[in-house]
Amino acid sequence: MPDTVNFGDQLVSPEEKTRKVGEVFSSVARRYDVMNDLMSGGMHRLWKDRFVSRVKPQPHEHILDMAGGTGDIAFRMARRGAAVTVSDINADMLGVGEERAAKKGIEGLNWSVQNAEELSFADRSFDAYTIAFGIRNVTDIPKALRDAHRVLKFGGRLFVLEFSTSDWPGFGELYEQWADKAIPRIGKAVASDEASYRYLVESIRRFPKPYDFERMIGEAGFTRTRTETLMGGLVCIWSGWKA
Ligand SMILES: C[S@@+](CC[C@H](N)C(=O)[O-])C[C@H]1O[C@@H](n2cnc3c(N)ncnc32)[C@H](O)[C@@H]1O
């Protein structure tokens, strides 16, 4: 781990990044779901549906939804009958998730505060590990991927949903302009928090390109790695197997 890491465009110590990411999500937790709709024009729902259709959760499976936040992915998987443990480093995000689950009448979820870099779960505990829009916020991504590999059973599957870089001509630049100019302003207007949304935009820009991240998954020990690009790679679904 280097002495300094990026927190958006700032260079900070690894400990400071983890602390600052915690502050960002504690600050946005209450407005997180409405902001997702506003920032993506509702598209995040389609990306999440596509992601879960790739996971194909089964009723006999136990799935770890890491960085599960307010539960969007876990709810979709639980509705298909899987047992889901929703984990996140941020108790505020999980708290909002538990309230949402109660309102929606979704039962059978386990909620657990965990850092993706040092999970307390035993080796070979889960059939699948999902992480949606979470991995770019993790301080030591290779370490988190190695821990994902550790907690999966043999034959278990990793699925990552995250923003990356679109190769559609002109679209990437258009998105950058929207993200740079509009998202922090919407954050200020709706959530009274411009800085957190500026970090979220900067962290998207700094995330590896689609096939570079696929290589990182392979380096963590996963085989049969695959990248599915959505909107030219603006959003990607990566997967890998624990052989
Ligand atoms: C953008 S939200 C995504 C929430 C949810 N998966 C979704 O798709 O709506 C990112 C989440 O990652 C969590 N997170 C950041 N760093 C983490 C870490 N090291 N370990 C576990 N969760 C982390 C944050 O607390 C936050 O809830």
pLDDT at 1 over 90: no
In this prediction, residue 172 carries a pLDDT of 87
pLDDT-derived band at 93 (thresholds 50, 70, 90) equals very high
pLDDT tens, residue by residue, 137-163: 999 999 999 999 999 999 999 999 999
Mutate to test the pocket of ligand 1, among 90, 196, 237 (most ligand atoms within 8 A of CB): 90
pLDDT of residue 139: 96
Q: Which of 19, 119, 135, 137 to mutate to test the pocket of ligand 1 (most atoms within 8 A of CB)?
A: 137
Q: Which of 164-178, 212-226, 228-242 bottoms out in mean pLDDT, i.e. has the lowest?
A: 164-178
**pLDDT at position 101:** 98
How much is the CA Rg of the chain, to the nearest whole Å? Answer: 17
**How confident is the model at residue 15, as a pLDDT?**
95
Other beta carbons within 10 Å of 5: 18
Residue 91 has pLDDT above 90, yes or no: yes
ipTM higher than threshold 0.95: yes
Cα separation of 116 and 140, whole Å?
9
Question: pLDDT value at position 109?
Answer: 98
pLDDT over 90 percentage in the chain: 95
Task: Assess whether pLDDT exceeds 90 at residue 132.
Answer: yes
For residue 35, give the nearest of 208, 165, 189 by alpha carbon: 189
Instruction: Read off the pLDDT of each residue in 176-186 and give the average, rounded to a whole number.
Output: 91
> Which residues are annotated as part of the binding site?
70, 88, 115-116
Output the ligand 1 site: residues, CB below 6 A. Answer: 21, 25, 66-69, 72-73, 88-90, 93, 115-117, 132-134, 137-138
Structure confidence by residue, pLDDT tens digits, 28-75: 999 999 999 999 999 999 999 999 999 999 999 999 999 999 999 999
CA pair distance 19, 24, nearest whole angstrom: 9
Q: What tokens appear for 217 in the block?
A: 């998954």
- Using DSSP's 3-state secondary structure scheme, residue 159 falls into strand
| pLDDT at 3 exceeding the cut of 90 | yes
Q: What's the pLDDT score for residue 108?
A: 80
Distance 21 CA to ligand 1 centre (A): 9
95 pLDDT tier (thresholds 50, 70, 90): very high
Distance CA 39, CA 32 (A): 10
Percent of the chain topping pLDDT 70: 100
pLDDT of 14 > 90? The answer is: yes
d(CA 21, CA 7): 8
Q: Which residue has the higher pLDDT, 1 or 219?
A: 219
Mean pLDDT value across the chain: 96
CA distance 160 to 238: 5
Residue 135, classified by CB atoms within 10 Å of its CB into exposed (0-12), middle (13-18) or buried (19+), is buried
Mean pLDDT of the 128-135 span? 98
Ligand 1 atom closest to the CA of 68, numbered from 1:
6
Q: What is the rounded CA–CA span in Å between residue 102 and residue 225?
A: 36
Lateral strand order in the sheet of 223-230: 109-113, 83-88, 62-66, 126-132, 152-163, 235-241, 223-230
**Averaged pLDDT, 182-211:** 93
Residue nearest ligand 1's atom 15 by CA: 137
Domain coordinates in residue numbering, the chain? 5-241
Provide the CATH topology of domain 5-241: Rossmann fold (3.40.50)
Residues in the chain: 243
